[in-house]
A and B are shown apart, each in its own frame.
Chain A
Amino acid sequence: AQTVTQSQPEMSVQEAETVTLSCTYDTSESDYYLFWYKQPPSRQMILVIRQEAYKQQNATENRFSVNFQKAAKSFSLKISDSQLGDAAMYFCAYRSAGTGNQFYFGTGTSLTVIP
């Protein structure tokens, strides 16, 4: 089974600053999909951004962008101009293109935004 590792249990950032959350994964597959989810205190899981492994261009969604390094099996999330509403748990997730049905999640990073 694939494994997803988030090595930073907790991170903090000053409001309006930039923060990067790390995610690495272990796989022997060449095709797969990667996702970042946000879980605020309400516990709702919200999709932040997705990346297809076959795309070299890094995905961007407004203030959120990724740094996808396929050879290094790394998928970090950069949050620019951090806002108080960004405070949440962030989970990295992997989906195989082959089986298509199993998702693998990291253990999460708790982000605190300091006013």
Chain B
Amino acid sequence: DGGITQSPKYLFRKEGQNVTLSCEQNLNHDAMYWYRQDPGQGLRLIYYSQIVNDFQKGDIAEGYSVSREKKESFPLTVTSAQKNPTAFYLCASSTRGHYSNQPQHFGDGTRLSIL
């Protein structure tokens, strides 16, 4: 079955440490996204990528970095510059192009906490 796999499910970060969240999809989608969700809040876009080797900053990109070397993979690195990283992170993917009525598909998320 096609879907999006995020790992790990739970992640702990020490002060000054970079951590990387994994996101893999086998839906053959061109576009991939990273969202941050704080308790009781909506989704805020961190980064998105429309094609391999291309990505754009979202609304809250500071302290985060991404890469898109393969169509299937879009890892997110939370750097030490992100001072408040504790949140729930959701990865999503979608088809790309004009007049596509397809929704985003989401992974099950990664919960990141500071030690």
Interface residues of A (CB under 8 A from B): 31, 33, 35, 37, 42-45, 47, 50, 52, 91, 93, 95, 97-103, 105-108, 110
Contact = CB atoms under 8 A, between A and B. Distances in A.
Contacts of B37: 43
B54 to A, nearest CB: 11
Contacts of A33: 101
Interface of B: 31, 33, 37, 40-43, 48, 50, 88, 90, 92, 94-101, 103-104, 106, 108-109
Contacts of B42: 91, 105-108
A103 B108 contact: no
B98 A43 contact: no
Nearest to A1: B59
Contacts of B94: 101, 103
Nearest to B108: A44
A50 B103 CA distance: 8
A43 B108 CA distance: 7
A90 to B, nearest CB: 11
B109 A110 contact: no
A47 B103 contact: yes
B43 A91 contact: yes
Given A101-B94, A103-B33, A105-B43, A50 B101 contact: yes
A105 B59 CA distance: 12
Contacts of A105: 42-43
A6 B31 CA distance: 26
Contacts of B97: 100
Given A43-B109, A44-B108, A101 B96 contact: yes
A44, A106, A110: most-surrounded residue (chain B CB, <10 A): A44
